Structures are given as structure tokens and as C-alpha cells.
Structure 1
Amino acid sequence: MIDDNIKHVINGDYIVIPIETGYIKPNEDLSSIINPARELMEDGDYLVIAETPIAISQGRLVDESEYTPSLTAKFLTVVWSKYLWGYVFGPLLKIKKRTINNLRKLPEETKAHKEVVLQLYGLKHALKPASEAGIDLSNAPGTCVSLLPDNPEKVAKEIKAQIGKEVCVMIIDTDATYMKNGKYFTGLPIAINGIEADRGFFGYVKGQLSENMGSTPLGCSEEISVEKGLEIANIAEDYQKSLSSEMKTIHDVKKVLGTSEKEVTVEDLDSITHTPAVIIRKK
């Protein structure tokens, strides 16, 4: 049960309680998530946190303007991603129309982005036409991007300890987990036990021929089955999709913030309400 005065929505057999904050800044602690969670959570609840605020709080930002694109990065951007995936492989594999449209209009800055992926994660991830290695372009200021969090399982356990209740804390990424022949896998570099991770481009291609299971749990404070982890992660993702301020891709930035992607400031990001986490409770 829940007090009607507390903001919440019902999703099937679960109650979803959003935790709303300002923009969590680089190297800032997570008290704006942990304090309300400590107050609102009950034993048995789940706290699901998006990966980007965790990563930004760890200072895992990279300024892409400091990278000079190599010939490989230029080829991967223009020939491989924009044309081959935008006009041939994408339509052939029936990937999302939104993704195809975005690939066909890749900006010049994507070349530097590909160079970042190449240097930090290697060709296996750079070959992926979009959302490479879970790097987030949409919630960072200026020409910065955020990498995946460092050791999300450890972070989840530390947050649980600070909450001080018998709850389950999970950090998730919206990039997909797929299933084929009863086995789970993702292109992302990391995932919870039971999901084969770090498949990069090869996981992405295989995933187009497999069942998309939704968002990927990156780390969890408890040992949790993949099925339960995916269920809870997708309930959290359903709530995020309902928000008008959601910035799922870099192309949503101008619509939400009213400024170009390259000109976003911390002040711009702090001007809207963020929902970096939700509490999920069985009814």
C-alpha cells in the first residue's frame, strides 16, 4: 500500500514511485536519490537507478572535442554507419525507423565520437552503428559524453547499505538484452550474472535476429534471476518513457531543452526535473 499523497503510478502488480531530482553533477554524491529512497522505501522494495547519473556522479565524463578522428573513425561514421547501416543493413534487419533516420543524418561530430569508442572500447564496439558501449550523449554538458558506471554492482551494494533496509538496488541501461535459445546476451560491456555481456557489434547483429527482452540490468545489490531483473528493469523503463522530459537520444535534447546538442550547459540540464530512479513495490 501507499499513501495517496505520494506521487505514484500503478503498473500491473506493482506500484512505481518516482524519485525526482535536479541534475546530478559531475563528482556530486547521490544523496538526492538516497535520502528520499531511505524515507520512502519499505523492506522488499526495488530501487532502480539509471546508469547515467551514477556515471556522472563518478566523474566518468569524456570531452569528445579533445579527440581527433582517425581514418578508421571517419570510415565507420560515414561509410559504415551512415550509408551501409542507414540504407542497407538497417532496413534489411528491420531496425527501428527512428534509428535508421538518425543514422542517415549523422552529424560531423559523430566522427570524434567513433574515435572515443575506438580508443576506449575497441573495434568490436565501434562497429555498432549507434549506442556504442552504452556511451550516453544526451545527458552531459557541451561536447561531453558519459561512459557506463564503474563497477555498478559495488555501487548498488553501497547504496543499499546507506538506505539501511532489506531492499534490492539495481542499476540499469536502456540498451537491450536479447534472448536466443534460452540464453541472454547484450552488446553492452557489462551486465548482471546470467547475461553474457561485452558482445559489442556481434551481439547487436545477433540481437536483431533474437527476442528483445528490454533494458539491461548492469549491476544489482542482490543475486537476482535474469527474468526478475529484466521484469523490474522494464517496469522502470516504462515509467521513464512516459515522461515528457525523457532524453533517450541526443536528438531529443533540442526538443526538451530548447538548445543545440553542443551548447547544452549544466544550468540547462538543471532547469528540468530529472527522474534518475524509481522505487518499485509489489502491490
Structure 2
Amino acid sequence: MREGRPGGKVEGLRKGKPRILVRAFRTRYWRPGTDFIAEIIKAIGKHARDGDFLAISEKAICTSLGRIVDEARIKPSSLSKALALWVKWVWGYFLGPFCHLRPETIAKLRSYPIKEGAAHKQVALRLTGLLTALTWGSEGGIDGSNLPFSYVSIPLEPREATRIARWIAKQVRSKLGIHITVLIVDSDRTYRLGPLYISPRLTAIRGIIGGLGIIAYLLGNALGLKSYPTPVASSRPGIAPELALRLASAA
């Protein structure tokens, strides 16, 4: 992504703000053990320029690093079983409608599988804590979409995500001779509450209050706050949250 020039494809255009030109790159599916640096270099090598921004899916990185868990092997606790019932009954009949969730989502919550759900909640409790485990899905960045069977990807800690973003930028600079800003992005939402940005999950971006779990989710959805995908970390120290959120949305 780069600041816009006439004639290019424009994403995220808003009056009074620089345009963002977006190019999407296709790679093969990143499995555990994939050399994602090689995949990135191969994909962007002929297109990237100095000053560009590169947004990368956190889940793709986590999968390639082997940060995945088979929830079929997890033994749920009494608390995680209670949380599965919480999703089925409280989210299905009260909080779901309160947060204006779509009817098809509410229908799925009301048929939430208790056994599998309890195992998932056990993983969420262990890795992200109670506040995020109280949400109905994608707790703290834990994500099972596009993964086989009962596997889920485990989100990066903010410091680790920053280290990886800087490492990717350093490798691009070393191999291609260009300076870019790397942004690791998650589809979980960040919400704008007046002058504040709040997120259910942790993020390394300064200016975003992360780790609020169900509190941020309820506020964001019940009040209909403007939301964005969450920038998890950036290779550029001190990147403005407004810019990081615009880039995450454009990606």
C-alpha cells in the first residue's frame, strides 16, 4: 500500500486524507513450517517500493510458525463448560440481540455445541483470560477459520508481534534493498469511542486500548460504534493509531 497517485486503484479514500493505493498479493496456503519470508519476497519483489506499507494476516503468520492447537485434545474445566453454556443461553437469547447480531449468528449461538465449545473456552481462558473468554467467538484473536478439523491458531503477544514485524521489514530491506513498514493485522474489530480506540484483544499499537474483552465488544456493538480490523503490531515505532487503522481497513 502507498499514498495515492492519479490513475491508481484507491481504497479507504476519505475527503481531506491522502489516498491509499492497494495491491493484493496471492501466495500459496501457509502451513506450519512455511518459509513465509520467502513467500513474501516472492510475492512483492517486483512491486514494492520505498515507503510502502505491507499488511500481513496475523493468522497466516501464526499458522506458519506452528502456533496452532488441536482443541480435540483439550480437557475442559468446570468454568469452561459454564462459559459454553453462557454462549448458548446468554449470548443466544440476551446479549446477541442486545448487540444487534445478525439473525443467522444468533441462531448459531442458540445451537452452540457445548462439548466442543467448552474445549474452545478452555483454550481461551488459558491464553487470553476471562474477559475475552466471555465473548462469543474469536476470543483475543484465537481463530479456527480456514484451519482443518478442530485446530485453532494462537495469537501473537504484542511484543512478539512487534519483533516479527520488524524482522520481516529487515529481511525485505536486506533482500530487496527497500524500506517498507510492515503491519500485522487481525480481523477482530477495534472500535472508536469518541476520541478513544478500544479493542477486545491486545495490540502493540500505542493509542489503542486493548485487552478489554467483552467490555469493548459490548460497547462497540450495542452502541453501533465505527469499527476497524485490528492492527496488532507495526515495524514502525510510534505509528499513529489512525493511520494503522486506515491501513488495516484498506487491507
Same fold by TM-score, threshold 0.5 exceeded?
yes
Q: Aligned ranges for residues 186-201 of structure 1 at < 5 Å?
A: 186-201=199-214
**Residue 217 of structure 1 pairs with residue 226 of structure 2:** no
Alpha carbons 2:202, 2:232 under 8 Å: kept: no
Q: Deviations over 1:55-74 (max 9, x none)?
A: 11221111111112222212
**Partners in 1 of 2:105 and 2:52 — Cα distance?**
35
CA RMSD, 1 decimal: 2.0
Q: 1:219 to 1:98 in 2, by over 3 A?
A: farther
Alpha carbons 2:30, 2:64 under 8 Å: kept: yes
**Residue 90 of structure 1 pairs with residue 89 of structure 2:** no
Aligned letter for 2:110? R
Q: Deviations over 1:88-119 (max 9, x none)?
A: 12112323444323312223411210111112
Q: How far 1:210 sits from its partner (Å)? A: 5.9
Alpha carbons 1:125, 1:201 under 8 Å: kept: yes
Q: State the partner residue of 1:244.
A: none
Q: How many residue pairs end up in the alignment?
A: 229
Alpha carbons 1:37, 1:163 under 8 Å: kept: no
Higher share in strand: 1
Gaps spanning 5+ residues in structure 1: where? 3-7, 237-283
Aligned letter for 1:158? W
Report 1 or 2 for greater relative contact order, CA contacts < 8 Å, sequence distance ≥ 6.
1
Q: How far 1:9 sits from its partner (Å)? A: 4.8
**Partners in 2 of 1:98 and 1:161 — Cα distance?**
44
**Residue 145 of structure 1 pairs with residue 158 of structure 2:** no
**Partners in 2 of 1:147 and 1:103 — Cα distance?**
22
Aligned letter for 2:171? Q
Alpha carbons 2:220, 2:227 under 8 Å: kept: no
**Residue 18 of structure 1 pairs with residue 27 of structure 2:** no
Aligned letter for 2:43? P
Q: State the partner residue of 1:267.
A: none
**Partners in 1 of 2:163 and 2:140 — Cα distance?**
20
Gaps spanning 5+ residues in structure 2: where? 3-7, 14-18
Q: 1:199 to 1:26 in 2, by over 3 A?
A: same
Aligned letter for 1:196? I
Identity of aligned residues (%): 36
Alpha carbons 2:201, 2:210 under 8 Å: kept: yes
**Partners in 1 of 2:226 and 2:141 — Cα distance?**
16
Classify the secondary structure of the residue corresponding to 2:247. helix
**Partners in 2 of 1:170 and 1:98 — Cα distance?**
32
Classify the secondary structure of the residue corresponding to 1:109. helix
**Partners in 2 of 1:96 and 1:215 — Cα distance?**
19
